[in-house]
Structure formats: structure tokens, C-alpha cells
Amino acid sequence: MAATTVPEKTTRRHAGRPSDVRARGGGPSLGRKTRRNLQAYAFLVGAILCFGFFSWYPMVREFVMSFQSTRRGVTSWVGFHNIKVVYHDPYFWTAWKNTAMFTLYALVIGFAVPFLVAILLNELRHCRAYLRILVYLPVMLPPVAGALLFKYFYNPEYGLFDTVLHKLHLPTSQWLDSSHTALISVVIAATWMSMGSATLIYLAALQNIPGELYEAADLDGAGLLSKIWHVTIPQTRLVLSLMLLLQIVATMQEFTNVFLMAGGNGPENSTMTVVYMIYQYGYHYNNMNGAAALGLFLMLVLICFSGLYTRLSRNSD
């Protein structure tokens, strides 16, 4: 019986059909890909809307309000009037000085201490998991509760710190009641409440350093400080620089601890920060436009720090 043959044109026509292409492993169409990723696009749009509404819109609104004045519900443009008013405020430079000092203390204490604690935890061989939990516990404490707890500890009459110093026959301190120690006392409390997150981040970076580098340093006779300076810090440089920027941004916006522990101004205005001054303009003086002008100053300073960090990061790469 003669074998049937398929015409050549028919074979070519069927070979070029899309169904055969998909059967041979071809990719899905653009419409099918879009429908497949529709849920991902929906989540992306939601994230963009939340970011725009809660982050970008307040910044734009703050910028606009800085050049406006609202009286009895009537808004008018006043140009740089609000900026001049807050700039000539007698406490303007005091607030900036305290903010700069708070940031400096926080970098000396709150930036160095978590890194040293992370190095210590990385060197331990026993109870490491337990100590991680112990270090992170203050982060889980609500900020208001932590601030009120330290305010109780700092009490010169029945506080824990002065009681311990008195038992050890050491000189006591006024802590929050003295203009010389109020700011540093707030910094210590803020460091204790937030150091857990930074410590775990540093610890994760330390555990990614190859052990061969420390072995080579041991062969060269390097001591502990030499290994930290020549191996640990260079290997964690990117994490340290990023945490430095985040530390500066966070400390320059400090408000909760200053407000709850020192009443905002503190003794002789020693704890008045820029953010607390913004709070005063907005809710004590009922001048939201002046508060927006102060916020604009702060935003420009933080943008400068971020731009400097980005430029230095590019140069180092």
C-alpha cells in the first residue's frame, strides 16, 4: 500500500502556527505575561501611592506652607517672611547648637558602642544567641515607656543611678536637672533604647568577613586593635558608612526622648532641639507656617548630608 505524503505547503503552514511554537517551548504572549503579573503590579502601585502620600506629599506641602500665611482661614503668599521670622528667633541658634551637640554625642556613644558590642558578641563562643536576645530587648520596649523608665532612673531623690552611686560612695549627679548633664543623659537613654538593631546589623556584617583575613593577621603578629583597624573596619566600611548616615538623620530629628525626659527645653534650654522648636511653633504658638519654615531648614540640612554621603560613596567605589 502506497504511503500517503503530506503536501509541502501544508507542512510549512502548520509549522508556523503559534500553537506549535508554544508547544515547542515558546514564551507566552505579552498579554498573558501582563495578566500573570497583574497582582504584582497592584502591590507596586499601592506601595508607590503610600510612599507618595505619606512621604512626598508632606514634604511638598511643607515647602508650600513655608511661603504662605494663614489667618482666620485665609491663606496668602508672604514670600520669605516666615523664614526670616524663624531665623531671627532668639532660640534659633540655640536649637541648632543643641541638635548638633546631640548628634555629636550620639555618634560618639550611640555609633561606637553598638559596633564594639557586636565585635564582643562575634568573639564569644557560648551563649551567643541568648546575648543577642538580651541586646535586642530594649528595641522591643515602646519608646515612651523607655523614656519614662529612664526618667525614673535619673531622679535625684529615689532614682536607680544615684542610689547605686550613693551605695558605692561616689558623687551623685543631677542628670536631667542640670544644664551640663541633661543632654548627655538623654543621649545615653536613646542609645540604650536603639542600640539593639544597630548591633545585630553590625554582627551580621562581621560574620561575613572571611576568616582567612584574621588568620593572616595572626601570622603577621597583629594584635586585637590592629586586626580591628586593618581588617574589621575596612571589611565593614559600607555598612558603617550607611549606619553613620542613618544615625545622623535619626538624631537630628530627635523629639520623643527630649520631650518626655527633659520637658523639651530642659534646664536653661539645654535640650531644646530643632524638632522641639518646630513643635513649639506649631502647637504652642499656633504658627504652622513658621513650623513649616523651620522644617524646611532641617530638610535642607539633611539633604546636604545625604548628598555628601552619596558623593563620598561614589568616590570610594
Rounded CA gap, 78 and 65, in Å?
Answer: 10
Q: What is the DSSP letter of 3?
A: P
Q: How many CB atoms lie within 10 A of CB 110?
A: 22
pLDDT of amino acid 315: 64
Reduced to 3 states, what is the DSSP secondary structure of residue 70?
strand
Instruction: Return the amino acid letter for 94.
Output: T
Biggest alpha carbon distance in the chain?
A: 117
pLDDT of amino acid 292: 92
Q: What is the pTM of this model?
A: 0.79
Q: What is the DSSP letter of 75?
A: E
pLDDT of amino acid 150: 92
Rounded CA gap, 96 and 272, in Å?
Answer: 9
Mean pLDDT by 10 residues, the chain (317 residues): 47 47 52 74 86 87 89 84 92 93 88 88 79 86 90 89 90 88 92 89 88 84 83 87 86 90 88 93 90 92 84 67
Rounded CA gap, 205 and 132, in Å?
Answer: 15
pLDDT of amino acid 187: 92
pLDDT of amino acid 86: 93
Q: What is the DSSP letter of 268?
A: G
pLDDT of amino acid 273: 92
Residues 245, 246, 248, CA angle at the centre, nearest 5°? 65
Question: Residue 153: which residues within 8 A CB-CB, separation 6 or more?
Answer: 159, 160, 161
Rounded CA gap, 264 and 215, in Å?
Answer: 51
| Residues 189/150, Cβ–Cβ less than 8 Å | yes
